[in-house]
Amino acid sequence: MSSSVFSTVRSTLSLFVVVFIFFSPVFASESDHKSKHFWLGSDALCRQSLLVIPYFCNIFMLRFSTSKVLCKFYQFSSWYSLQYQPDDPVTLWVNKVGPYNNPQETYNYYSLPFCHPGTNPAHKWGGLGEVLGGNELIDSQIDIKFQKNVEKGTICQLELDEAKVREFKDAIENSYWFEFFMETKGFLSALQKSYGPLLVAWDTFIDMGYFVRALTLSSWPFFSCHVSALRNAESLDDLPLWGFVGELHPDRNSDNGKLVLYTHKNIIIKYNKDQIIHVNLTQESPKPLEAGRIFDLTYSIKWIPTNVTFARRFDVYLDYPFFEHQIHWFSVFNSFMMVIFLTGLVSMILMRTLRNDYAKYAREDDDLETLERDVSEESGWKLVHGDVFRPPYNLVLLSAVVGTGAQLALLVLLVILLAIVGTLYVGRGAIVTTFILCYAFTSFISGYVSGGMYSRNGGKSWIKSMILTACLFPFMCFGIGFILNTVAIFYGSLAAIPFGTMVVVFVIWAFISFPLALLGTVVGRNWSGAPNNPCRVKTIPRPIPEKKWYLTPSVVSLMGGLLPFGSIFIEMYFIFTSFWNYKVYYVYGFMLLVFLILIIVTVCVTIVGTYFLLNAENYHWQWTSFFSAASTAVYVYLYSVYYYHVKTKMSGFFQTSFYFGYTLMFCLGLGILCGAVGYLGSNLFVRRIYRNIKCD
């Protein structure tokens, strides 16, 4: 009976997916296709939100018959996406404009008074990560045909008045640049024109394939076909073009020069047989900005054959000399040597010290004089064995941040591995989409670690612990994102997150992340929550003696982050430069090495700090070990302040708020991650050293 019910539910969901994919345009209102990107129509919003659920249901309930159909559909779409025939139309999408020095301050391309050849241009609705990245692709309606040269074509006629001249001058003075995308003809591209926001779910589903490919060794037909077609799916990404709106030309009659607007776009397209390989845009025919002038905006197209293969077409966008410079290799080698030195030093000091302590503490046949001398000299970590396993203050919060940090550590490792295997840098927003989906599916880890830790320390407020673990990091990000989104809405920027996208993210969190975190807490409580402390906790807490200033928890915490920051300092420069200076980060092998080095250094440094603290007879090591490792994020944030003032030319409230807001979000995650790693390492160390002493 249950099997038949399960089969019926599975078939219904599969049928619902197929029907919704192919017949969604029938139910879409005309306003959905004409609506602006930021405020989606109600029908579009419903489709965008609800389609996430059946895709996820299909992933978990998929069997042979359904997967076989979807496999054929997916393979056909991937094969067809690569094919071009002579005179096939090629769409040029306009995306955004903004000040070159302010990467996040972007606006709709037609927020500047450019003319365009038609009315109601088509929109290309992107995936989840693409929308969060502030992209809005609109059909330029420029007539481009595959392998057909155009000597000079007219886009439209632009008539300047005082207002338009003022807007263009302001844009040129602020070094406004624009971004276009040349479309790769594909089955999914055609669907995007017809289905609008529906393809947000499909793009999310494609990006989730990286996650599925790495986590499953299954021989299911769907997964096998998905892996074989995944490389072709990467080809669905469009090719970018960049240019400046205008520039300041020297003028003999003026010391300040003359502002000119480029009116001709020369596009050179390189192709290999039936595939577009590379696109280049040069701006020509500058015209002075004077009210009352009328001139044509024109373009030319030139097709050039090339021998570059389709798989290597994105190499031109990668800055090999920058990322593979000797200093990058040297920094990784230097960090690796620091790890070897630090690990050896910690092992030598601690093993010698602990071995001597064990030997002295374990003697049973000493005479009375020796025993009295040992008692008078005995101090340090052995004296606090009755308090070292006392539950920490604010156990609920500590359990939540440690569980969240463990999840983030696994999440970062997983995303880095996926980026290495799947070249996620190729797709617009692929990293963001993968991060969100991986976070949702790894939420079980946060609950499991938090629940086990909370139970072992005798916690009783289970509901509070579960909810705090599931909501802590998402709500921190939501709070920062809400403030930044308000700023973006006020400025009318594309960085503002559409309401429909917010609903999609909320659905992913509410229906996947939150339940998995609750389930993990329950499992952790029952499977790993039994108290197993090597020493019993005394009823009366031992007083903590006064110590020198450098042994106080605050100083130990601040000093603990210096070496971990030193191990990632150079890599932070490359990551910041990629994110804030228009470079594509692709050396995820470097990132993996640096991440592993960071974990090892953090554990070693935190263990040393915990040992010094216990030797000072301070048994409040739990929060100190967490903050000692988490202080790495403080130094990263201070470095970001230096980077902002020295390495960038950013200006204005908008960009400044986004720079420090995004950096704060990143540092909060980094701090929680490092803090959890430091605590877990110290916890293992403390249990190990007290396991071999007499705790009567």
Quick one: which of 259, 244, 111 has its CA closest to 175?
244
Provide the whole-model pTM. Answer: 0.80
Contacts with 178 (C-beta within 8 Å, 6 or more apart), sequence order: 94, 95, 96, 97, 109, 242, 243, 244, 245
Burial class (CB in 10 A: 0-12, 13-18, 19+), 157: exposed
Encode burial over 109-136: b for 16+ CB neighbours within 10 A, e otherwise: bebbbbebeeeeebbbbbbbbbbbbbbb
Distance of CA 655 to the CA centre of its chain: 19
- Tell me the average pLDDT of the chain: 79
> Could you give the 3-state DSSP secondary structure of residue 543?
coil
φ, ψ (nearest 5 deg) of residue 493: -90, 155
The string of pLDDT tens digits covering residues 288-336 is: 998 889 889 999 999 999 998 888 888 888 888 888 777 778 878 888 8
- Terminal Cα-to-Cα distance of the chain (whole angstroms): 59
| pLDDT at res. 452 | 94
Distances in whole angstroms, Cα of residue 580 to Cα of each of 101, 430, 577: 9, 18, 5
Distance of CA 584 to the CA centre of its chain: 14
pLDDT < 70 stretches in the chain: 1-82, 117, 184-237, 252-255, 353-354, 356-379, 694-696
> Could you give the 3-state DSSP secondary structure of residue 10?
helix
Burial class (CB in 10 A: 0-12, 13-18, 19+), 519: middle
> Rounded distance, CA 400 to CA 10, Å?
36
> Rounded distance, CA 615 to CA 507, Å?
49
Distances in whole angstroms, Cα of residue 459 to Cα of each of 395, 521, 605, 622: 7, 12, 29, 15
φ, ψ (nearest 5 deg) of residue 87: 70, 10
| pLDDT at res. 150 | 94
C-beta contacts of 32-41 below 8 A and 24+ residues apart: 32/196, 32/197, 33/122, 33/123, 33/196, 34/120, 37/108, 37/123, 37/136, 37/494, 37/498, 38/496, 38/498, 39/498, 39/499, 40/197, 40/498, 40/499, 40/500
Contacts with 415 (C-beta within 8 Å, 6 or more apart), sequence order: 431, 434, 435, 438
The string of pLDDT tens digits covering residues 651-691 is: 999 999 999 999 999 999 999 999 999 999 999 999 988 88
Distances in whole angstroms, Cα of residue 429 to Cα of each of 128, 579, 662: 7, 13, 16
| pLDDT at res. 550 | 85
Encode burial over 225-249: b for 16+ CB neighbours within 10 A, e otherwise: bbeebbebbbbbbbbbbeeebbeee
| pLDDT at res. 353 | 66
The string of pLDDT tens digits covering residues 535-587 is: 888 888 888 888 888 888 999 999 999 999 999 988 999 999 999 988 888 88
